[in-house]
Amino acid sequence: MTAASPHPPAPRSPEQDPAAYDYILPENRIASHPARPRDSARLLVLRRGTGAIEHTGVRDLPEILDPGDLLVVNETRVLPARVHGWIERRRTEVEILLIRETRPREWLAWVRGARNLRPGDAIRFEGQATSAQVGPRDGESVRLLFEGDVTALLGQVGHMPLPPYIRREDSLTDREDYQTIFARVPGAVAAPTAGLHFTPDLTVRLQARGIGIARVLLHVGPGTFRPVRVADLREHRVERESFAVGEETASALAQTRASGRRVVAVGTTTVRCLETASVDGGSAEGWTDLTIVPPYRFRAIDALMTNFHLPRSSLLLLVSAFGGRERILAAYEEAIREGYRFYSYGDAMLIE
């Protein structure tokens, strides 16, 4: 007989139950295309201290924020990482989502139809000289070793990896629509969607108001769309993603803090960058699997601009940890009543 632990785990609180982060969203509230122009999207402002809500627009940000505030954006660029091919041995079609390059020409990938794959199988792509050889499995992923130019392959036949809740095929316009204007470093398979609302005109107006813009880098992986599968949120973990906070941004953050102004994160990926780097208090780079669920003590940010997220998602958990679960879900209910558009191409909220 095994002796009972002298320190049994604390009972799960209501906010640690994934079911506490459910809400019902009508299908017609899921945006399938972005607002045009981008900064014409609506913006719900939630005051954390009181729960007060204000309905405004993204283009009003220069008047909502204060001079001296610092917006921090993610400069990752989304790859057209979804490609179709066929297994040469069987002429069986497969759909591949490239996740990240693990070493030169070797990629970790999700493959729809992976049950038909064997190590050593060749995968061909229509009209392309580039091919791939199947390597060993890595959990739910497969390693693929490419012969040829992967960048050229994606540029010619790759598709933008739109989220599965956008129920349409991607189009040529998505190659720009699903990128932020800050996108500089290729490597993401999902967009940091809060940044999609910015336009060159809006950034000029923000800077004219004395609001700074700093950049971090986090290559968003496909795990962002995975539902929470644990019964207790204390056991939930997000997949690791590469990130970097450079010295210039670290300096801007320090100056903002010293002046008593606010750090405003644009998107949950930016939050995870800044919160990871805050442990060292300066610049940092590497991998982060920081998982933010309620309760969590934020060290690096004062306000958060973000989109409306899926029920029971890691993103909604992070937002709830910052804004308070009950207030966030109440704001979501009001946004639904007021006709806001949800998810990647939808409207935004500012939590301050």
d(CA 337, CA 332): 9
Closest Cα to residue 123, out of 169, 159, 92?
92
**DSSP-based three-state secondary structure for 177:** helix
pLDDT tens-digit map of 206-254? 999 999 999 999 999 987 777 898 999 999 999 899 999 999 999 999 9
pLDDT tens-digit map of 82-138? 999 999 988 889 999 999 999 999 999 999 877 778 999 999 999 999 999 999 988
Predicted TM-score (pTM) above 0.85 = yes
pLDDT of residue 3: 47
pLDDT tens-digit map of 155-213? 999 999 999 999 999 999 999 999 999 999 999 999 999 999 999 999 999 999 999 99
pLDDT of residue 206: 98
**Confidence band of 7 (pLDDT split at 50, 70, 90):** low
Give all strands (DSSP E) within the chain, no chain letters.
42-46, 53-57, 70-74, 76-78, 82-87, 92-103, 106-112, 122-124, 131-138, 141-147, 185-188, 212-218, 241-245, 263-266, 284-288, 303-307, 348-351
d(CA 59, CA 125): 43
pLDDT tens-digit map of 290-311? 999 999 999 999 999 999 999 9
Tokens 């924020």 correspond to what residue? 65
Query: Tokens for 62?
Result: 């220069």
pLDDT of residue 89: 87
CATH of 82-157, one of 2.40.10.240, 3.40.50.980, 3.20.20.70, 3.40.50.1980: 2.40.10.240
pLDDT of residue 90: 81
- The domains of the chain are located at 16-78+174-351, 82-157
pLDDT tens-digit map of 229-242? 899 999 999 989 99
- Across the chain, mean pLDDT equals 93
Q: Which fold has domain 16-78+174-351?
A: QueA-like (3.40.1780)
